[in-house]
A and B are shown apart, each in its own frame.
Chain A
Amino acid sequence: MRKTKMQFSLGSENIITVLLLVAGAILPFFLSTYRVSIFSYFFTSAILGLSISFIWGYTGIFSFGQAAFFGIGGYTYGILSKLFDNNALTPVALVAGVALAAAVAAILAWFMFYGGINDVFVGLITMCFTIALSTFLGQTAGSEWKIGDVSLGGFNGITKIPTLYFGSYKCDKVTFYYVTFLILAAIYIALLLLKKTKAGYSLLAIRENRTRSELFGYNVPKIQVIVFTIGGAIAGIAGVLYAAWGNYITPSNLDLSASTLVVVLVAAGGRKNPTAALIFTIAYSIIANTLSSSGSQYALVILGLILILVILFVPNGIITAAFDGIDSAWRKFTGKKTESEGGETA
């Protein structure tokens, strides 16, 4: 009975999901190599956005720490790939970057969630962690701040980081685009599929009411630690890809403004919906990149104002509201109710 009713729902998100994946797959055929490369960078921001959507949107853990894990991934990749001095080992540096970001996230999460810290205090602790890490890295300009021959470089960060290699094959810009796109698509699809699984329901339960979830038998701190660790790993992947893309990483990539911006973008797009987070993060990146390359800093201020207005007037996110609006219009057009409106009777 429910399946019969479900077919009347347009499911604009599902259509957009397919369109996004197809668009991502064919984009390099229509853009210059330079533009394709820029999209690789946008995708690293989108992966970072998905890490926020996962921990905050799915599980209700409000964190300013994702930029820090992004930085840990990027710095680890930068340091190791230069230390190895063997391009064939860059995938090892990639895995190590992700693993270290996940490990640091796990340790931080263990202290927070088993220590009974939640809600705004998690935001404050992760913010402090991010500030401490970026401040520390910013003061590493001296020659004493070296790992092997690799200088941490203070505010200039680490430069001349090698891009990704697979054996002796060096990823050109288009190959790198597809590597980034596939990783982004895999994480995105995994998040969509997760929603309808038992594990997804447990995250939903914790997001909606932690105490009640405990009383349903969910081990809330354990699940929170797992989620935060995976979120850290996802942010770490973004950082590694960013360092491999731009061949540099600096403390500004993980400072307070970087960590705040991605949270704001995900909130403005729709934190509970990975598609919304994905679309808004990429759209913002495209607009900001276009405006900054035209030299119009006032336009960026206007963009900031738009973000504030979205947060104020569409608190569930503008993309989520758009999906709801399209689906609602479709229902009016077809004159049917969806399952969630109680249109079904058994």
Chain B
Amino acid sequence: MSSETNEKVLLELIKVSKQFGGIQAVEDFDLKIQKGDLHCLIGPNGAGKTTVFKLITGQYPVSSGRIKFKGKDITSMSASKRARIGMSIKMQVPGVFEELTLRENIRIAAGNYTNAADLDAETERLIKLVKLDTIGNPPVRNMSHGQQQWLEIAMALSSNPEILLLDEPAAGMGPEETAFTADLVNELNAQGLTILFIEHDMDFVKQIARNVTVLHYGKKFAEGTVEEISNNPAVKQIYLGNV
């Protein structure tokens, strides 16, 4: 690979493995995410997708291998430091603070990155970005599942990340909510944000992803464009069920 291409690599996993006792959750997994990419990680349940996200964000330490971000080795860096250098995530189960209000949630997330004087304005900007500016300021527990997902995306964006990891951003959403989420992800990517996401809904994946990596039993099974993966008979066999 040329050095020019290397400069474009934002996130790189090199032979990353993770073991939980005797269970090999991820094995020798390589991944390269280019700047500006909209990349999807798919695979059957238990393939290790969420574990990969947790390894990338530092929630789990790797058993072996290396993780590089912006060319720097971050393998032993804490989760909070990874967040501060430009990595952000929307978790599989919405990681919002249910007992607090919509705006309190945003302020918590943005408080680490915004001056006190600008915090209110930044809060309103983020709320508007995910179209939650018409619902007032309810306690988050009273918000719908979809609204909670968008809130968490807004919270994840509060750090102005360079890469956004979305773990099943459209899970549990109806068609309209899914369409809005797809538009939102596309819009963010069009603005230059690199996005890596996990998703089961192949229609959603086809709608937005450019490149896809297939994970199976913790190993990379296939990689390519959406079309290549959709037409890969082996992938269809293990994941798409010959659709």
Residues of A within 8 A of B (CB): 2, 197-198, 201-202, 204-205, 208-209, 211-220, 339-346
Contact = CB atoms under 8 A, between A and B. Distances in A.
A203 to B, nearest CB: 10
Interface in B72-88: 78-81, 83-84, 88
Given A212-B95, A214-B79, A216-B158, 7 more contacts: A214-B58, A339-B101, A340-B138, A342-B136, A342-B142, A345-B134, A346-B134
B65 interface: no
Contacts of B99: 208
A341 B89 CA distance: 28
Contacts, number: 91
Contacts of A215: 57, 59, 79-80, 83, 88-89, 91, 95
Contact of A204 (B81, B88, B100): B100
A208 B94 CA distance: 13
B133 A202 contact: no
Q: Secondary structure of the A side of the interface? A: helix
B119 interface: yes
Contact of B101 (A211, A213, A340): A340
B109 interface: yes
Interface residues on chain B, size class: 35 or more
A179 B100 CA distance: 36
Nearest to A211: B59
A342 B95 contact: no
A219 B109 CA distance: 13
B13 interface: no
Contacts of A208: 97, 99-100
Contact of A343 (B80, B136, B139): B136
Closest 3 CB pairs of A and B: A217-B83, A342-B138, A342-B136
A344 B159 contact: no
Interface stretch (B29-37, B38-46, B110-118, B169-177): B110-118
A216 B97 contact: no
